[in-house]
Amino acid sequence: MFKTQLSSNLIPEKVIIAVVPVITFFSWAALPAIVAALLFVLMLVLVPYSIYTIYMAPLNLSYDESFLFVTSRKTEKIIRLKDIIRIEPSAGYTSLRKRWQISYAENSAEQELFFYPNDTADVSRFKKVARAKNPMIFVAD
């Protein structure tokens, strides 16, 4: 069966995370002391968060007409589309892209996963396919 890619590989974000600390390091001497100190503190907070958000947390998601395929660095999990309970944007994260949340039932428990889609059209197509398999699904716009 043909799989459709749902999640983004976040290449622009990865480039930004790699380039910003280098530029900051080389421009350090040209900045006023207070600005340099604030920038340093900001980097201590944002760089680890960004590394986690962009490199560690995202999953590779793809789907076909019956299943959602969740691939991490070491495993692939297959979720039936009819087990999906909710598809909605995830609030509270600052990013260049909107982060989405999928909730699904597994072994009588609700599980969640988060992803960054390539664009909103990909999410819209996925919502239609998931709703066709589970008409009771909650889908936020």
Q: Which CATH number fits domain 4-8+59-139: 2.30.29.30, 3.40.50.2000, 3.40.50.300, 1.10.1200.10?
A: 2.30.29.30
- pLDDT, average across residues 75-86: 93
Q: φ, ψ for residue 91 (rounded to 5)?
A: -90, 160
pLDDT confidence tier of residue 134, bands split at 50, 70 and 90: very high
Q: pTM here? A: 0.71
Hunting for tokens 């892209």 — which residue is that?
97
Contact 130, 137 (CB under 8 A): yes
Q: What's the rounded mean pLDDT across residues 89-112?
A: 81
Spatial contact of 3 and 63, defined as CB atoms under 8 Å apart? yes
pLDDT bracket for residue 62 (50, 70, 90): very high
Scanning the chain, the segments in alpha helix (DSSP H) are 11-27, 33-51, 120-133
- Work out the angle at residue 59's Cα, subtended by the Cα atoms of residues 61 and 111, and round it to the nearest 5 degrees: 85
Enumerate the domain spans of the chain: 4-8+59-139, 11-55
Of 94 and 15, more confident? 15
